[in-house]
Amino acid sequence: MDKPRRLFDAIAWQLQQFPKPDMLNAKEKGAWKHYSTQQVAENVNKLSAGLLQLGVSGNDFTPEGSDKIAIISNNRPEWLFADMAVQQIGAILVPLYPTTNPLEIEFILNNAEVKYIFVSSDDLFDKISAIKPLVPSLKEIYTFDVIKGAKHWSEVTALSNEALLLQVETLKTSIPEEHVATIIYTSGTTGTPKGVMLTHKNIVSNVLYSKETFPFIDAPHYKVLSFLPLNHIFEKCVSYIYMFSGNSIYYAESLEAIGDNLKEVKPDGFTTVPRLLEKVFEKIMHTGSQLKGMKKVLFFWAVRLAAQYDNLKDGGAIYNLKLKLANKLIFSKWRAALGGNISFIVTGGAACQERLLRIFNGAGIPVYEGYGPTENSPVIAVNRRKNEDRKFGTVGPVIKGVELKLEEDGEICVRGASVMKGYYKRPDLTAETIIDGWLHTGDIGVLEDGKFLRITDRKKELFKTSGGKYVAPQPIENKLKESMYIEQVMIVGAGQKFVGALIVPSFANLKAWAAQQGIPFTSNEQLIKEPKVLDLYRSIRDKYNPFFNHVEQVKKFELLPKEWGIDTGEMTPKMSLKRKVVMDKYKAAIERIYD
């Protein structure tokens, strides 16, 4: 076939270029189940045919006229089956996070007028069943797991027949690349989610330009592990990069099982978010702190060496020799824990600590930071495999096909084929966000060395102190998180005389330190009130404050006893901080800072 134009062309492309026995793979009853390219094609076509029999249609190929099909599920082959099956007949997929609260789900399903929904498990089936009476357009719920009393997705594929399958083949060729492939709802400033309309052209152009720019090579022997939520455009985009590159996709069983799955699959790469990298590093450092004698000395010597690594600057013969020795003695074990074959890890979704990037890359674990919002399908910039196109602390050069400009206030604006069609049913918001063809991202950045884009903060997260000085919280937070004793941190101080911080300690490391100090404790709540512990965190504050100008320096802080998480509401599903939620939840702690 010629150059792919629609997302579902990934199947025909792979059948032609590199058909394989393990296109998509997942654990079922403790064993890996493999779906060949041919099996994927058959499953997707049958599901498309079954949906046609149910009356699902692209109608006039307009966002309003095309039927909407929703999906709320963990990562699994059936997710992509449903995605491509819906696309092939001109309908539009509406993906939701499994952790989305019922009120938001109700709003999204009604706003999109969803006709059918696919869910993965019994808890999600119960969640949607409770909402169904409130969504007049919703006709049926289909499940991927076999659940008593629920309709299984195989009931849809069973509706297919030869005539319908022929109709699917005809429809495929008629889907315009300008047709909306998906509506992805993101958090809205007004309290209701915004539906980002992305066309086939938007996403396919971003996929192919990202593949060429990074580059992702055509490698049918490559295996990749997928665990970031597929309903987020980042993981969806890279999934199509993998398929167009012939890589085999293996789905992790859960976030908790990633370590085991890495050792089983031995992947060549994966995508992640900084929070997960931080957790991996914290676990590594905790293990290192438990070592004794010379082993412990060597471990921390190696980490200090890696923290000095700079891909753009030769460290000299002695440094290189030391790093080579550290790689053999220490870092080879880190790589083995990741399966031993990692050639790339791409991180995005939030700012990654520069020190973390140096350490992982110095340890021979190549981590590349990228950037892009849902509204750009999403990639705007990414660090490259070539050393001269990679700079730690930046998100790399802008990819091909994307034109960049920085406004006077530093706001990042882009235009190109990957810029969204607009917000569904919100022309007012679309007009505010896309001006003269330029997407206004709301992110603030600078260009370094004429080519590397550095994100300095979110425009809406900048705040002024009572003295009228602007403070960008992200760089301060990322610097403080370099401490092995800080798990999470949020900078506060809007309208106040000075900058404060809410700090969640790394309790594994803090407890080990407390034991060495002979500090008795029975709970996290008790531990964070200990005078010696407070002195420790004051010393950490004092260590990092000189990195910032006077107005940005943390004067006071509050230690918190529990980690922020998705389930408890402080983190988004992609593990970014919900600042407003934290501000509301820990109002009393903030008041103590400014008391």
For residue 37, how far is the Cα from the chain centroid? 26
Q: Indicate the CATH number for domain 271-458.
A: 3.40.50.12780
pLDDT at 349: 87
pLDDT at 576: 86
Topology given in CATH for the domain delimited by 9-175+214-265: Rossmann fold (3.40.50)
Rounded CA separation 375/197 (Å): 8
DSSP letter at 551 equals G
Identify the CA nearest to 4 among candidates 251, 206, 275, 249: 206
pLDDT at 467: 87
Give me the residues of the chain with pLDDT under 50, please: 189-190
Give 94's contacts (C-beta < 8 A, 6+ positions apart). 68, 69, 70, 71, 108, 109, 112, 114, 182, 183, 184, 185, 195
For residue 68, how far is the Cα from the chain centroid? 24
- Cβ distance 41 to 15 under 8 Å? yes
- Cβ distance 200 to 5 under 8 Å? yes
Highest CATH level, class, for 463-593: alpha beta
SS3 assignment for 264-306: HHCCCEEEECHHHHHHHHHHHHHHHHCCCHHHHHHHHHHHHHH
Indicate where the chain has its CATH 3.40.50.12780 domain(s). 9-175+214-265, 271-458
DSSP letter at 411 equals E
pLDDT at 191: 62
Rounded CA separation 465/554 (Å): 12
pLDDT in tens, 393-432: 999 999 999 999 999 999 999 999 999 999 999 999 999 9
Indicate where the chain has its CATH 3.30.300.30 domain(s). 463-593
pLDDT in tens, 120-140: 999 999 999 999 999 999 999
Furthest-apart CA atoms within the chain: distance in Å: 77
DSSP letter at 247 equals P
The secondary element (H helix, E strand) that includes residue 403 is: strand 402-406
pLDDT at 189: 42
Rounded CA separation 86/47 (Å): 8
Token pair, residue 95, equals 């993906």
Percentage, residues of the chain above pLDDT 70: 99
- Helix (H/G/I), strand (E/B), else coil: 10: helix
- Cβ distance 226 to 250 under 8 Å? yes
